[in-house]
Structures are given as structure tokens and as C-alpha cells.
Amino acid sequence: MAEPVYRRVVIKLSGEYLAGSHPSGIDQPTVDGIAGDLIAARQLGSEVAVVVGGGNIARGVEVSSRGVSRPTGDTMGMLATVMNCLALEAAIERKGTPARTLSAFVMPQICELFTRGTAHKYLAKGRIVLLGGGTGNPFFTTDTTAVLRAAEIGAEAVLKATNVDGVYSADPKKDPSARRFDRLTHSQAIEGDYKVMDATAFALARETSLPIIVFSIAEPGSISAILRGGGRGTIVAG
């Protein structure tokens, strides 16, 4: 089996994707499918950490529009990411692969606190590490969390799993003439305002020289394909 292109990665998963065809909540068959893809990626020889959004349960911006403050709403959203991590952890371990959830918040009855040392330890042991709780601070997205954690743990790339197969010049679902980019620089991604990832995440990736690969998670085996240096997606680097 060919060696993976990236030896350690952070995969960013959308919380909304975990809902499957439902408007919200956790769809177990979808979670089981993602768990299988993550295990296959780990079996290639890559060390895998995962940041999951919480939009299928609570999104801070939406919650704060209903009467609570933005910091409180964002905290609710960060707690939702921990719930998603626990669901993924359970699905991964049911398939016989060890996984560990680490949170930006202290919650010892539920999971361990994220530290670089703890993450390094579990990744080196072959665990799939689920990173919940966002950055632990309001006003930051899980996109930014993924890049931050990747920089902290020495990952070689961030794999941004979306519902489209890369970065397009416009929404391909609304504009049939939208052009898909094979490659962009971080600066081009920021200036183009392509919405696939927030500007803070791209700016941090540029500062830390982290490549971001945007691809579709809907294709079975897409994570492994990217790790092998193939697959269909957009590389944001340089």
C-alpha cells in the first residue's frame, strides 16, 4: 500500500452533515459511514484528528438571534460540538478502532481536556482524536478551530470536508457556469470571499503555512483518496 501524502491531518467535518437528510439532529447511518471513512484513513498510516461543527444541534449565531447573548449562544454551539464528537467516538469504537474525545472545556466526567501533549500521545498510539468545544472562546468558528488545532499539534494539512468537491467561483448549485479551482493561494481564497471557509481560518493557515484541501465528504472513501494524493478537490496553499 502506498504511503499517505500527509502523515498527520486535521479533518474538519460539518455538523450539519451529521444530520443526514434530516433538518437537524444526528443521523446514525451517516455517522456510521463517516466513522468507517475515518477508520480507513487511519489504516493508511495517517494520524487523524477531527474537528466537528455543531450546526446540526445548535449554531451560536442562530441561537443568539433568539434572545441570548452571542457569547452564550456560541458556548451552546461549542457544547454541541462535544456531543457530535461523542457520537462519532462511539461509532468509531463500535467498529473496533480506539478513539478519544478531547474538549476545550474542562468536563472530566465526560471527556479529557485538550492539551497538545494529550493529543500527541493519543495520535501516536493510533487513536482517532475527536476535538470538541471549538477554541473554547466565543466568536471563533470551528473552521478556525481546525486550523488552530492543526498548527498546535503539528499536522501537515487541514482537510475541509464539505458537500461540494472543491472551491468554486460561485455556488455551483445556483450557477451552472461556476468554475471549480484546482488550486488557490490562501490570499486568493480570502480575496475571493468564496465562503467555503471563513477568512480568519484562511489567514491563520497562511500565517502557519498550512495547506487546506477542500473536498466532498459525500463520496465514500474520499478522505482516503485525498490522503493518497488523489481525489477531487481544491488545494489552498502558498
At 62 the pLDDT is: 76
Structurally, the chain folds into a number of domains equal to: 1
Residue 91 within any structural domain of the chain: yes
Residue 178 within any structural domain of the chain: no
**pLDDT per position as a tens digit, 149-197:** 999 999 999 999 998 899 999 888 889 899 999 999 999 999 999 888 8
Residue 47 within any structural domain of the chain: yes
Residue 238 within any structural domain of the chain: no
**pLDDT per position as a tens digit, 31-48:** 999 999 999 999 999 999
> In sequence order, what are the residues at sequence separation of 6 or more whose Cβ sits closer than 8 angstroms to the Cβ of residue 124?
47
Residue 36 within any structural domain of the chain: yes
Percentage above 90 pLDDT, the chain = 84
**Exposed, middle or buried by CB within 10 Å (0-12, 13-18, 19+), for 188?**
middle
- Reported as half-sphere exposure (CB side, CA atoms, 13 A), residue 10 has a value of 28
CB-CB contact of 120 with 153 (8 Å)? yes
Residue 188 within any structural domain of the chain: no
- For the entire predicted model, the pTM comes to 0.94
Residue 2 within any structural domain of the chain: no
Residue 175 within any structural domain of the chain: no
**pLDDT per position as a tens digit, 145-154:** 999 999 999 9
Range of the domain at 50: 8-156+194-230
State the CATH number of the domain containing residue 56: 3.40.1160.10
